[in-house]
Amino acid sequence: MNTQHPAERILLGPGPSPVPARVLRALGAPTLGHLDPQYIAIMDETCAMLRQVFQTQNALTFPVSGTGMAGMECLAVNLIEPGDEVIVCVNGVFGGRMADVMERCGATVHLVEAPWGEVITPDQIAGALDRFPKSKLVGIVHAETSTGAHQPLEGLADLVHAKGALLLVDAVTSLGGHELRMDDWGIDAIYSGTQKCLSCPPGLAPVSFGPRALEVMDARKTKPQSWYLDVSMLRKYYLGGGGGRVYHHTAPINMTYALHEALTIVLEEGLDVRIQRHAKMHQRLRAGLDEMGIRYIPVRSLHSLNCIGIPDGADDAGTRKRLLEEYGIEIGAGLGVMAGKAWRIGLMGHGATLRNVDLVLTALREVLK
Ligand SMILES: *Cc1c(COP(=O)(O)O)cnc(C)c1O
């Protein structure tokens, strides 16, 4: 193993996704101080671009230091106080994690469940809100990366807001790859990650909080149990205000450069064009797999993540090993109950190209011969 020069893989798994050279070059720019006016300007532009990709006007939109899971924790610890009731939708690994994280915040978690590969229906959520009317929020995963299921979100906010609750969304695998309209869809709090459809290395978790979420945070009786992720302190650095920028923790400077460049690329391509590209590449992959007799597991598949059944008689680990060693292609194994039953082919961001789709189809055909 050469530990000095990492190989150039073609990352077609559940993340990280391939990173454009422009983004890697941005990572290597000179490190500024985190209170340097030039860095503050870069951070401000990054937050403005995040608002564009989340399609929100929310001032409180910024990248949390940490990966997608830090975004999940950030929303949970700031919105939940011990003793609160919450509703969490679980149809795969990440919904399950959300329930676990919220329980650790001291919440009583009511689960709304669907079989793996399926999505949660509005009726299920309405039913849970009727049974548990004191629920403070409903948490749901837009793109369940463990099963490839694409959860519809439009219309859910009306149900949730009618009961005075907040709608909280995991958009880790959808941001920059699927239609996602935070404000139009009434989402109150959202988190994502950099290494999926934004095609930036892992390390930051973009989050956004809307006015309802701000009210809930401002009305807290207790401090969030996490000092590091306490938004009431973080906002004094990210948003400044009367007291100027206040040091909380040292922002991951070079990762911010990378995210700034990755978001620039997203907006240069155009959000809608990019989303259409993900749809087209998914359709092309699907048609090729169909010809090979390979079936999709979820009924409503994501474009960014294709979860497929392992063909009868195929060697799960052996096939993935050959793809990696002979073609340099990484695809994902099945996760949770899908382990040994599914493969996950990610077509995210910079990875969602005609070249990659045709390459992975050709490689799979050869290896499965
Ligand atoms: C990848 C992912 C996460 C976790 O993100 P990390 O960057 O691995 O911490 C959370 N939710 C979903 C849906 C994901 O796909």
Please tell me the predicted confidence (pLDDT) of residue 1.
80
| Residue whose C-alpha is closest to residue 165's, from 107, 223, 224, 94 | 107
Q: Do 280 and 256 fall into the same domain?
A: no
Q: From ligand 1's centre to the CA of 37, what distance in Å?
A: 32
Ligand 1 center–CA 193 separation, angstroms: 7
Q: Using a cut of 0.95, tell me whether the model's pTM lies above it.
A: yes
Does residue 338 sit in the same domain as residue 253?
no
pLDDT below 50 — which residues of the chain? none
Same-domain pairing of 145 and 229: yes
- Identify the domain boundary among 266, 290, 319: 266
Q: Residue 129's pLDDT is what? A: 98
The residue range of the domain holding 63 is 21-266
Same domain, 142 and 46: yes
| Most ligand 1 atoms within 8 A of CB, residue of 173, 302, 305, 306 to mutate | 173
- Distance between Cα 173 and ligand 1 center (Å): 7
> Rounded to 5, what percent of the chain is helix, strand, coil?
40, 15, 45
Q: How far apart are CA 11 and CA 291, in angstroms?
A: 23
323 shares a domain with 236 = no
Query: Which ligand 1 atom sits nearest the alpha carbon of residue 72?
Result: 10
* Atom 3 of ligand 1, residue of closest alpha carbon: 68
Please check whether residue 276 lies inside any domain of the structure.
yes
Strand partners, 61: 208
The CATH number of the domain holding residue 353 is 3.90.1150.10
In the chain, which ranges are E strands?
A: 10-11, 61-65, 85-90, 108-113, 137-141, 143-144, 149-150, 166-170, 189-191, 204-209, 305-309, 329-330, 332-333, 342-346
Lining ligand 1 with CB less than 6 A are: 15, 67-69, 94, 141, 143, 145, 170, 172-173, 193, 202
Task: Please report the pLDDT score of residue 239 as a whole number.
Answer: 86
Q: Pick the atom of ligand 1 nearest to 146's CA.
A: 15
Q: Which atom of ligand 1 is nearest to the CA of 15?
A: 1
CA 195 to ligand 1: nearest atom: 7
Q: What pLDDT score does 134 carry?
A: 98
91 C-alpha to ligand 1 centroid (Å): 15
Identify whether 5 is part of a domain: no
Regarding whether 26 and 113 lie in a shared domain, the answer is yes
Please report, for the domain that includes residue 248, its CATH number: 3.40.640.10
Question: Which residue minimizes the CA distance to atom 2 of ligand 1?
Answer: 172
**Domain end among 266, 298, 319:** 266
Question: Is residue 244, in this structure, part of any structural domain at all?
Answer: yes
Domain end (from 266, 292, 308): 266
Looking at the structure, do residues 251 and 345 belong to the same domain, yes or no?
A: no
Q: Supply the pLDDT for residue 240.
A: 82
Pair (222, 279) in one structural domain: no
Has residue 303 been placed in a domain? yes
85 beta partners? 108
Considering the domain architecture, whether residues 117 and 262 belong to the same structural domain is answered as: yes
Cα(144) to ligand 1 centroid in Å equals: 9
One domain, residues 104 and 216: yes
Q: Tokens 């789709």: give the residue.
A: 357
The residue whose CA has the least distance to atom 8 of ligand 1 is 68
From the alpha carbon of 196, which atom of ligand 1 is closest?
A: 1
- Quote the Cα angle for 52-205-199, to 5°: 70
Q: Number of folded domains in the chain?
A: 2
Q: Using one digit for the tens of pLDDT, what is the confidence trace for 146-192?
A: 999 999 999 999 999 999 999 999 999 999 999 999 999 999 999 99
Query: In whole angstroms, what is the distance from residue 310 CA to residue 334 CA?
Result: 9
Q: 21: closest CA among 224, 201, 214?
A: 201
pLDDT tens sequence across 84-112: 999 999 999 999 999 999 999 999 999 99
